[in-house]
Structure 1
Amino acid sequence: MQFKSALRNNLGWMLLSLMIVAVCGSDLSLFAAESEGSRPNILWITSEDNGPHLGCYGDKYADTPHIDKLASEGMIYLNCWSTAPVCAPARTTLITGMYPTCLGAEHMRSMVKLPKNFLMYPQYLREAGYYCTNNSKEDYNVAKPGKVWDESNRKAHWKNRKSGQPFFAVFNHTISHESKIRNRPHTLVHDPAKVRVPAYHPDTPEVRHDWAQYYDRITEMDALVGKNLKELADAGLTEDTIIFYYGDHGSGMPRSKRWPYNSGLQVPLVIYVPPKFRKLAPPDYQTDGKSDRLVGFVDFAPTALSLAGIKPPAHMQGNAFMGQYETAPQEYQYGFRGRMDERYDLVRSVRNKRYLYIKNFMPHKEYGQYLNYMFQTPTTQVWKKLYDAGKLTPPQTYFWETKPAEELYDLEADLDEVNNLMNSDEHQDILKELRQAQQQKILEIRDLGFMPEAEIHSLSDGGAPYLVGQNNELYPLKKILAMAEVASSGTQDGQAELVAGLNAQNSAVRYWAAMGLLMRGENAVKQAHSALQKSLKDSSKSVRCITAEALGKYGNAQESKEAVRTLVSLSNQNQDGVYVAMLALNGLDKLSNEKVAPVKDEIAQLPLKNPKLDRRLQSYVTRLVERIEEKQSQK
């Protein structure tokens, strides 16, 4: 009798389902959206500028009871990477499920367009019936392709959804942001005497105060996370909701934020899957568990879609690590660094579960290039002051010096990533493996970062730079990467190849050829001065900027004078664009005060605003001009 009753009930539900499909057509998502509990709610709680400095990660100095409790009921990921070590590129990775390096969006606040058929992940969720809210930071480097969120503001909340509608909600907490660890006055709660000072930082009162205040802010952030969790529990929704807590990149302390070391890329990730949705959990999920699976921000968008039963679109480059469309665990995770605010750089990194490899494509630039925003932190100021006074020893000196071409670190034996194993005989196999993995990823996704930023924007002509990157005629990446590898090899070899490269058909190849000569210094520039003089009139303004910097630093008096004039002529953002202007001003900033002095009045007259720019880009030219003027006043 029980069997017959169950059969009748099942047949009834089947008939009801068929009737609904008949009424709604083939749109099963409508039925799912109207069926309370048929799909999970998804809650993402994020915090800014903090690594896994939490109790649940074994940090005994931390005071994070709410996140620790969530971890005890869920699982933590030990190897989660933010893909980018700074907010805007990291958030671009999250919202697109793609590497910003292939979108032309790796640089801070450089707004680009997506191809027309590429949507942001909340749009796919909304199409499937989810109510999507973001409270409230966006900060993407890509323009939104239409309406992305149902609500995105400080009042956005899952409680505003329709009855029975599943929700996807983000709550972002800024209290742990870089700016909050340096604001004064602040009465410390954590004892600065008990701080663990990383090997690369000097042990000073200022540094200890910043670290202690950072932990104070994490405790405050933890309390906000607790409020989010309590609100969910009070509504009786905890058991209907998959919860993520994660940080948006490493800590806001210098040499963490902005650098693609593990210290800048590793973030906490705590995930809770309620029992009713355990079928969506990964195979290694267990209560109060730990996973060493490699996951990253590029994987978050496809994972969110997978949890909602949506197959991730083919253009997403990440891999779902949960849900219906979970993929196999990945062997590597990748990171990157591009322009940070007003300073250019190009770094790529890759890790497996134990080792981290870094390729510095601009090793002539010191790690700690002057960034106005970063230098507001007391740690940065005292660290640089001590270095200039000659009071530091390695590894505390490294941050203020130029970079090696390559770096390799054992993350198990070297927590602070200060012992470079590049020349270790016993590590040559892993070095080759990770180097190859990084090169393959660059070619696989067609990394656009090897094109000068100004040309990323000019070649796309207001369209999607991604499409330019996928076009081998416009962007012959293998040739460009080969020249970039020669340029950044860290040796004096390849002079003839670099000089020949100045005549290449592709401007990005010429850019890297000029960069390689600049990196090699005075002898290389003097040997190539005739070819470089011709490049001073290159059709690419970006090539002209690099050529002028090389001749300005190492050419004879006449060549230097002409180079300085070239850089000044390219520094007007309203005339040649903000990206060319930044590149030119960076070049001027690298020249001696004596060489720049004759044009200081022209620099002072440069326009500091361009009303057509995204507001987040407005300050960068101003900062560079002010820095050059400050140096002139100190001579």
Structure 2
Amino acid sequence: MKFPLLLRLVGTLLNASLLAATEPAANEDSPRPQPNILWITSEDHGIEMGCYGDAFATTPHVDQLATQGLTYRFAWSNAPVCAAARTTLITGVYPTSTGSEHMRSRVPFPAGIEMYPQLLRKAGYYCTNNAKEDYNLNQPGRVWDISSPQAHWRDRPANQPFFAIFNSTVSHEHAIRTRPHSLVHDPAQVRVPAYHPDTPEVRHDWAQYYDSVSEADTIAGDRLAELAAAGLTDDTIVFYYGDHGSGMPRSKRWPGNSGLRVPLVVYIPQKFRDLRPPEYTPGGMSDRLVSFVDFAPTLLSLAGVKPPAWMQGHAFLGRYDTPPQPFLFGFRGRMDERYDLVRTVTDGRFVYLRNYLPFRPAGQHIAYQFRTDTTRIWWQLHEAHALSPEQDAFWHPRAPEELYDLQTDPDEVHNLADSREYQEIKARLRTAQQAQARATLDVGFLPEGELHHREPGVSPYAFARDPGVYPFERIFATAELASLLDPAAIPELVQRLSDTDNTVRYWAVLGLLMRKSAGGPTGRDALRVALHDSSPDVRIAAAETLALYGSPADRTMTLDLLAQAADPTQSDALIPMAALNAIDDLGPIALPIRPILAAYAAHSEQLPPDRYLGYLQNLLARYQPPAASDLQ
């Protein structure tokens, strides 16, 4: 899509006239109506915009909005992928607390909680969503007045205030790789981040990404013009934001700053100046730390509704705004077909990542991500040993803890976690992360199968509040012990293999697995017992450990167990997915069972439709023989 200079100038001038801060002062003696609230969102783009100082970006409409509104210097999406981020927005509760952190999962909705449109509708708002929902929680009844591509605030009853979302997908990950495409932004002028190799493919993808952000900006300009044409600019609070970092690899799906930081511009008309925060000045920049979990309580606060106590976010605007928070929190769970568990915290300068499965690299083979040229060339150069250490780190196991200084290392490539001079900072952020897990009763420490089967049909948010069902402290302590990789913890991990709780035993096995040859042989007898555990997740983890570090006899037995667990016809998708992830970790060791897996792959198209089916098929496809056309 072309963006001629004349059109950009016209759009800029149009928005300047629409949003000029020349509104008459509100009449304090007359009753004031509730504000309309308009959210303009775009997918898969970070702060690569002019209003954030990026001179390479072409974003005149949002830049103009920023001259009349307040730009938030540091906003996080909490999750680096769309469905989990959107689930955070719609509830004001962390998905790690509701069990909805995993990409496109479907979890029972907690009783006693509502999605924010339901609360706004009770407050008299007409609520529309155009058009994406895609939450990881079951919807609790009717949520929107209208949710469809036709949804629009103009269809509301006369004089009713509205809340409306317009979500643009033109900057989504798929737009980076859509071909043919005539580039508008010059690839030669791209700044390639330190973690990416500097190749023509990478430069092309980055330039095409900038093109797609410009398209999203144009759509935002259309929505603002629509509002002005209806004479509603002075009556409407406007948010513009992205749903997580860019769609480029090691932004999307990665829970560091490059995956979580989003643009956020808020315009509050003069009529509603009492709803502005103290730092609000047209064209100003707020240093307040905000994140998606704060958006729902902020909406309610703007509408004059006190946020309910169960919301875990903090209102940063409106009648019920709260003091600034010292930290923001992020998370990563299952990304499509690949399992992971990362928790992140930042104070705005330093970013701390806690990798609870450090033996798995950040760059796991996610089929959808590998459709992007940058991912493929990056992997090929890794295989050819042609990357710098900063570029190669994405494809290797991680340290249990990572710490980055965004002031000196904005690309997050120099891990300071082991540096002596940063130990106090690391300890402060680690303590904040642990306190957050405790305060929210983080259920992400349950393997996904256990999350659904521990109390079938009951919301994880609900059962987590019963320590008899979810002994959080025991599970969390074992996960910490397992993943910090201290060799001295091996005897304690072996002892915990006999715990009465499935997930304690699961983490004890993972602790031995992560210690490789030091852990497997030491706990071999207990691991052999664990092959017959009542929990399939424990059995799978024990089988992987013994296949890697047990005897030849162990290997034969465990490969048979993993092949049976991977059968997609024998159980719901979660157990085969866990087994196939373990099998992939084995690499060449799993060669004897490849024919069995290939047979599963050949019949996977006959499986009944399911929310997880595509992910299961992606895992099985790696074992399907290539088609004849692929060999030519």
Q: Say whether 1:529 aligns with 2:539.
A: no
1:424 counterpart letter in structure 2: S
Cα distance in 2 between the residues matched to 1:491 and 1:383: 32
Letter in 2 for 1:627: R
C-alpha separation in 2, matches of 1:207 and 1:403? 24
- Once residues 36 and 142 of structure 2 are traced to their aligned partners in structure 1, the CA distance between those partners, rounded to angstroms, is 21
Partner of 1:567: 562
Match of 1:80 in 2: 75
Per the alignment, residue 595 of structure 2 pairs with 600
Q: List 4+ stretches of structure 1 deviating above 4 A.
A: 609-614, 630-634
Partner residue of 2:36 out of 31, 41, 59: 41
CA contact 1:111–1:614 (8 Å) conserved in 2: no
Deviates more, 1:62-71 or 1:622-631: 622-631
Aligned to 2:46: 51
The 1:480/1:631 distance shift into structure 2, 3 A limit, reads: farther
Residue 282 of structure 2 corresponds to residue 287 of structure 1: yes
Helix, strand or coil for the counterpart of 1:466? helix
Instruction: Give yes or no for the alignment of 1:506 onto 2:501.
Output: yes
| Paired residues of 2:559 and 2:593 also in contact (CA < 8 A) | no
Distance 2:593 2:181 in 1: 45
Q: 2:387 matched to which residue of 1?
A: 392
Shift of 1:447: 0.2
Q: Secondary structure at the match of 1:202?
A: coil
Structure 1 counterpart of 2:258: 263
Q: CA deviation at 1:602?
A: 5.2
CA contact (8 A) 2:127 2:145 kept: yes
Structure 1 residues 58-77: aligned runs within 5 Å: 58-77=53-72
Residue correspondence of structure 1 range 12-411 to structure 2 within 5 A:
38-411=33-406
Deviates more, 1:423-432 or 1:182-191: 423-432
Aligned residues: 601
Distance change in 2, residues 1:392/1:133 (3 Å): same
- Counterpart residue type for residue 171 of structure 1: F
Distance 2:485 2:245 in 1: 28
Query: TM-score by structure 1 length?
Result: 0.92
The residue identity in structure 2 corresponding to 1:106 is E
SS in 2 for 1:242: strand
Moved more, 506-515 or 456-465: 456-465
2:119 counterpart letter in structure 1: Y
CA distance in 2, matches of 1:599, 1:386: 27
Contact kept? 2:249, 2:374, Cα under 8 Å: yes
C-alpha displacement at 1:612, in angstroms? 6.5
Shift of 1:631: 9.7
Query: 2:473 aligns to what SS in structure 1?
Result: helix
Cα distance in 1 between the residues matched to 2:312 and 2:97: 10
Is 1:542 matched with 2:544? no
Q: CA RMSD, aligned part only? A: 1.8
Partner residue of 1:16?
none
| Cα displacement (A) at 1:406 | 0.2
Residue 575 of structure 1, CA deviation = 2.3
Shift in Å, 1:610: 8.4
> Structure 2 regions of 5+ residues with no counterpart?
1-27
Query: 1:72 and 1:454 mapped to 2: Cα distance?
Result: 49
CA drift of 1:493 comes to 2.5
Identity %: 53
CA distance in 2, matches of 1:551, 1:613: 34
Is the contact made by 1:588 and 1:596 (CA closer than 8 Å) also made in structure 2?
Answer: no
Q: Is the CA contact 1:604–1:625 (under 8 Å) kept in the aligned structure 2?
A: no
In the aligned structure 1, how far is the partner of 2:380 from the partner of 2:549?
28
Tell me if the contact between 1:568 and 1:603 (Cα under 8 Å) persists in the aligned partners: no
- In 1, distance between residues paired with 2:607 and 2:581? 22
1-structure distance, mates of 2:607, 2:37 = 39
Contact 2:568 2:600 in 1 (8 A): no
Equivalent residue, structure 2, for 1:484: 479
TM-score if structure 2 supplies the norm length? 0.93
1:598-619 per-residue CA deviation (whole Å, 9 max, x = no partner) reads 452355236526877644x220
Distance 1:613 1:488, change over 3 A: farther
Pick from 448, 457, 460 the counterpart of residue 462 of structure 1: 457
Shift of 1:552: 1.4
Post-superposition offset of 1:278: 0.8
CA distance in 1 between counterparts of 2:314 and 2:149 reads 30
- What secondary structure, in the 3-state scheme, does the structure 1 residue paired with 2:481 have? helix
> 1:548 & 1:613 partners in 2: Cα distance?
29
User: In the TM superposition, what is the alpha-carbon distance from 1:347 to its structure 2 partner?
Assistant: 0.2
Deviations 1:89-126 (A, max 9, x none): 00000001000001110001110111222110000000
**For the Cα contact (< 8 Å) 1:46–1:247, is it kept in 2?**
yes
Alpha carbons 1:573, 1:610 under 8 Å: kept: no
Distance in 2, matches of 1:264 and 1:327, equals 26
Q: Which moved more, 1:374-383 or 1:424-433?
A: 424-433
What residue ranges of structure 1 are gaps of 5+ in the alignment?
A: 1-8, 14-34
Offset at residue 128 of structure 1 (A): 1.1
